[in-house]
């Protein structure tokens, strides 16, 4: 696959550092990412497509770089590369090690981390966003595509930080990823904020533990064509938590949403309570969504084995039970969201 930049091209940053383009790593909606080398060390270069290389994006990057990374878990922009000629530009960030995997790898069973590692991944992920929000920033697009984790220890790396926006900045053009956007954004009532970030974070955490979307149950299974109107209803105008204690009309469908039915009763009551709060009260009252410290306290207790589920099993027993189910192939491999 060929990109905009040829291998061997030398790119000079605004600070004077020279980066040699080694090879194209991939491409997305905004631009391409290259492996580049500077003084014997490797970095990643995101090079924008013409339509994304706007003056607003450049100004946003300048602010992000000046603010500095909130935590080591972020693959934060380091410096800009703006050639002397042409309108295109890019930025340098740390290069993600190959042994880090995506949440999609977990969903599709390409990796099988221990339950302890999943808890630690959830803790580190939440801690990263807590530190970002403490800086007065909002991420705006929390989803599968921007999180990677080490399946051996639960360390995380958060990428795509060039759309992070600070309160003092003008509203960004990024609204989020379908399925992860808060209902008020789906309905067109609000723009991204720290409160909508907290909703997206809860969806991602639900996927981590339940391998299912929190709103995809009977209502989703009855949809014949997942067009825009169907998505708006499912995620915006009529969102119903699949385990809502007071509304059973959207329960997981056996044979389709087996993962949710298997995992939900296995976990400690406190985890289920926070998910229930996130997707009942939190659907309509953004200010009452679960905060990062609440999640972090829970995950810390789960890692220590302190919590128990309603049946009396400790989290230590839950780890073993979960891993036995995965190794036996009991967990449903079907993953509807990724197949669309």
Domains along the chain?
Answer: 10-94 (3.30.200.20), 101-339 (1.10.510.10)
Q: What is the pLDDT of residue 298?
A: 96
Mean pLDDT of 151-172: 83
The more confident residue out of 225 and 316 is 225
Distance CA 315, CA 251 (A): 25
Mean pLDDT of 258-276: 94
CB neighbour burial string for 81-98, b if at least 16 within 10 angstroms, e if fewer: bbeeeeebbbbbbbbeee
Asked if 106 and 208 touch (Cβ cutoff 8 Å), the reply is yes
pLDDT-derived band at 337 (thresholds 50, 70, 90) equals: very low
Using alpha carbons, list the distances in angstroms from residue 87 to 54, 161, 166, 234: 9, 21, 25, 41
Asked if 193 and 138 touch (Cβ cutoff 8 Å), the reply is yes
Distance CA 13, CA 131 (A): 28
pTM: 0.89
pLDDT-derived band at 327 (thresholds 50, 70, 90) equals: low
Upper half-sphere CA count for residue 28 (Cβ side, 13 Å): 12
Reported in sequence order, the residue ranges of the chain that DSSP labels E, i.e. its strands, are 10-12, 18-27, 31-38, 41-48, 79-81, 90-94, 101-102, 137-138, 147-149, 156-158, 165-166
Asked if 31 and 49 touch (Cβ cutoff 8 Å), the reply is yes
Q: What is the pLDDT of residue 145?
A: 84
Distance CA 124, CA 183 (A): 26
Asked if 315 and 306 touch (Cβ cutoff 8 Å), the reply is yes
Three-state DSSP class for 228? helix
Q: What is the pLDDT of residue 313?
A: 56
Asked if 133 and 194 touch (Cβ cutoff 8 Å), the reply is yes
Among the listed residues 131, 2, 148, 153, the one whose alpha carbon sits nearest the alpha carbon of residue 69: 131
Quote the crossing angle between the two packed helices 292-304 and 194-210, to the nearest 10°: 30
Q: What is the pLDDT of residue 334?
A: 43
Mean pLDDT of 301-306: 82
Give the strand order in the sheet containing 90-94: 10-12, 18-27, 31-38, 41-48, 90-94, 79-81
Kindly report the number of other CB atoms within 10 A of residue 324's CB atom: 10
Residue 253 sits at the vertex; the CA angle it makes with 251 and 258, to the nearest 5 degrees, is 105
Q: Which two tokens stand for residue 31?
A: 């631009």
């Amino acid at each position: 696959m060929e990109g905009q930049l040829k291998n061997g091209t030398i790119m000079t940053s605004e600070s004077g550092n020279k980066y040699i383009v080694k090879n194209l790593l991939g491409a997305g909606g905004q631009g391409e990412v290259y492996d580049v080398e500077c003084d014997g060390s490797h970095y990643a270069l995101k090079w924008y497509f013409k339509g994304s290389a706007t003056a607003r994006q450049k100004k946003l990057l300048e602010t992000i770089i000046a603010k500095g990374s909130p935590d080591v878990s972020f693959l934060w922009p380091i410096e800009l590369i703006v050639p002397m000629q042409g309108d295109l530009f890019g930025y340098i960030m740390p290069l993600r090690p190959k042994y880090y995997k995506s949440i999609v790898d977990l969903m599709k069973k390409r990796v099988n981390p221990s339950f302890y590692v999943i808890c630690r991944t959830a803790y580190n992920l939440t801690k990263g966003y807590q530190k970002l929000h403490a800086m007065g920033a909002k991420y705006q697009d929390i989803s599968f595509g921007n999180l990677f984790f080490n399946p051996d220890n639960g360390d995380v790396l958060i990428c795509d930080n060039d759309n992070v926006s600070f309160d003092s900045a003008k509203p960004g053009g990024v609204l989020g990823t379908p399925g992860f956007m808060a209902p008020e954004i789906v309905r067109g009532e609000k723009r991204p904020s720290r409160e909508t970030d907290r909703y997206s974070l809860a969806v991602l955490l639900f996927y981590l533990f339940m391998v299912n979307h929190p709103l995809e149950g009977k209502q989703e299974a009855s949809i014949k064509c997942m067009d825009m109107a169907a998505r708006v209803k499912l995620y915006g105008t009529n969102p119903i938590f699949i385990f809502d204690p007071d509304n059973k009309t959207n329960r997981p469908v056996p044979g389709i949403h087996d993962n949710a039915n298997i995992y939900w009763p296995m976990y400690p009551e406190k985890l289920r309570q926070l998910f229930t709060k996130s997707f009942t009260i939190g659907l309509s009252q953004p200010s009452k969504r679960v905060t990062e410290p609440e999640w972090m306290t829970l995950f810390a207790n789960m890692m220590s084995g302190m919590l128990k589920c309603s049946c009396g099993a400790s989290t230590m027993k839950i780890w073993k039970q979960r891993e036995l189910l995965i190794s036996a192939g009991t967990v449903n491999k079907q993953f509807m969201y990724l197949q669309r």
